[in-house]
Chain A
Amino acid sequence: MTLGDMISTALSNLGRRKVRTILTSIGVIVGILTIVTMVSLGIGVRIEINKQFAQIGLERVFVSPREGERNFFTQFAAPERTNPILPEDVERWRQLPNVREVVADVDLPLGVASALKIGAQTQQIAISGEDSVLGQTPFSTPPTALAGTIDVPDESGKIVLTAGALEDLDINPDQFAGLVGQPVEIVLQAPRGETQTFSFTVVGVSSEEIPTARVPLADRAAMKGWWFNRPDILATDGYDSVTIRATTIAAANELVPQIRNEGFRVQSLELILDLADQVFTVINVMLSSVGGLALLVASLGIVNTMIMSIYERTREIGTLKAIGASRGDIRLMFMIEAGMIGLMGGVIGIISGWGLGLLLNRVILWYIEREQLPVRGDFFVVTPTLALVSLLFATLIGVIAGLYPANRAARLDPLVALRHE
């Protein structure tokens, strides 16, 4: 008996009990629908996250100094650096092949009280460097220049102010342009009351709302040095963080272990992405288990249907055996029949899962537009691989469920089967 004959026989046999066949495959439909929906959500969200991370730049490597462990007495003090990032390290990294850019950063301690002084007016303000990569979330809109430039120059003594800082000083947006080139002062105050004034020239105003002054690295180092009363702080404590931008993602991945071997703490977006991937895999598996449970119940339904159908067709099986069907023929015939129930449920399940995904994508899009969230894209994505794998899985479930009934049919004694009423 050829495979084509087997399949057409199975189809015609399923066709004679249409309602029962459909009811049986509903279990498979529900299971596959659940799995397809859950996994397509996982795939969609992962694609979306990958896209957002890629915008930030996967080719960046973040280096921070290794710090000593704190004990009871030092737990509130600044951690001691066992391996600081010194200017010579940064210079060495700049010379590495495949490195496009190295940006070192110095953070001022949280307790530093700083104020912006324009003319006679002063205003509390935060000091920062250039907009760091991590400071930009996928959901924030990038700042624009309202006047001058918002790129902080390397040259010491230049400053970029935010619109938020100026508004607090009652300076109107139409005055921003006139501010460029003007001198301003930043006043640091130590808890003991000592103050130190640093002079700057305004080079631009950015659109950000948070009152911030962006100053070059050298000035921040000087501020920090004054705060800790250690003018050579860069040479002893080094930088607080360094972002290395490699030419490619692969080059970034090579840099990670290399710099880690030098004794620094190294992170890359790839590593964070891997972690996110793992988390999503776990969530996916958990959600899919619900579908798996539905499939388990569905497979019992298939077993039941097949046993019933074999019982009804006992005489036919006897006849087929008498006129020359082998055990293998009978077994394969019923296994194909059970597999068909699974396959049918799988096809319908995938199509409805895909449709449900499209519908949910629409709903999410509508919600995003209403809330004006800065994300776009599909959250439910059915890939061809997902469709194919679920189809095979559904068929496999059917075939496995058919194993026992088919063997029962194959083992029937033709004489007994022919006497069956």
Chain B
Amino acid sequence: MQEDRSLIRARSLARRYTMGKEAVMALNGVDLDIQRGEFVALVGPSGSGKSTLLNLIGGLDRPSSGEIWVEDLELGQASDKRLVRYRRDRIGFIFQSFNLLPTRSAVENVEVPLMLAGQNRKARRERALDLLGRVGLGKRAGHKPSELSGGEMQRVAIARSLANSPALLLADEPTGNLDSKTGKDILNMLGELLRTQGLTMVLVTHDMNVASHADRVVHLLDGKIQRIETAAERNGYRAETATAEAIR
């Protein structure tokens, strides 16, 4: 694999659903490259196709046409088995509603992906405790999700997503169920992780404040990319509005 090739490459990606008799184009010809170590936010109104794009990148769904490459794997054509292994070893999912297993303690939840990968008990317990320490929950390892706050639950979920050392994190509204302060803490922590571990992250949100943390913001509308903003452009835009506000 060449060094300069992007981590994710989408080529005329389309996904069609049939709702009753009508066909709905959730994605309609998307071309997108995401570089290694990049933090990309997908924004747009509901029905714009941002979640569909995330699911396609995550291998939870298959495109109706077009191609979606992650490293050397074309997800549309890959076998079910390859997709399962891809999801387990190369990506980490972070959900809006955390999706922790309610009967398992924090550390056991973090262990689940390691268990699925077939690691032995001792090694995965060590790894899980280490990860919980890194998200600042070392002391809450034995607690059940019902005994944790929303922010703590999302930290556990982040630790879980990192368990198998993936290259790519996929987050679907990770702060959607959190208050703004906790959400900001979570985003800061994610940003920190991306920088220190060199991870790539694709994040879906409708909140521009959240999206403002990203290196690039992809605006989607009706299944198509409307425009792509880089951080630099956005900072300029922000400066402009700040001036405008100051004048007003």
Interface residues of A (CB under 8 A from B): 1-2, 5, 12-13, 15-16, 315-316, 318-320, 322-327, 329, 414-415, 418
Contact = CB atoms under 8 A, between A and B. Distances in A.
A322 B87 contact: yes
Contacts of A318: 99
Contacts of A316: 99, 101-102
A320 B164 CA distance: 14
A182 to B, nearest CB: 93
Contact of A322 (B58, B81, B85): B58
Interface stretch (B113-121, B175-183, B231-239): B113-121
15 contacts: A1-B115, A5-B115, A13-B103, A316-B99, A316-B101, A318-B99, A319-B95, A323-B92, A323-B160, A324-B87, A325-B116, A329-B116, A414-B60, A415-B60, A418-B99
Contacts of A1: 115-116, 118
B219 interface: no
Contact of B104 (A12, A325, A414, A415): A12
A414 B55 CA distance: 10
B137 to A, nearest CB: 18
A16 B103 contact: yes
B160 A415 contact: no
Contacts of B99: 315-316, 318-319, 322, 418
Given A323-B112, A324-B116, 18 more contacts: A1-B116, A15-B103, A316-B101, A316-B102, A319-B101, A322-B58, A322-B87, A322-B99, A323-B161, A324-B85, A324-B88, A324-B89, A324-B113, A325-B88, A415-B60, A415-B61, A418-B95, A418-B99
A13 B113 CA distance: 17
Contacts of A315: 99
Nearest to A6: B115
A323 B109 CA distance: 11
Contacts of B104: 12
A12 B101 CA distance: 11
A344 to B, nearest CB: 18
A378 to B, nearest CB: 45
A240 B161 CA distance: 92
A323 B88 contact: yes
B93 interface: yes
Given A322-B58, A418-B95, A12 B103 contact: yes
B148 interface: no
Interface string B167-181: 000000000000000
- Closest 5 pairs between A and B when the two form their complex, measured CB to CB: A324-B88, A319-B99, A326-B84, A324-B87, A324-B116
B24 to A, nearest CB: 15
A325 B84 contact: yes
Contacts of A319: 95, 99, 101
A414 B170 CA distance: 15
A13 B101 CA distance: 10
B80 interface: yes
Nearest to B88: A324
Contacts of A12: 103-104
Contacts of A5: 115
Interface string B69-91: 00000000000110011011100
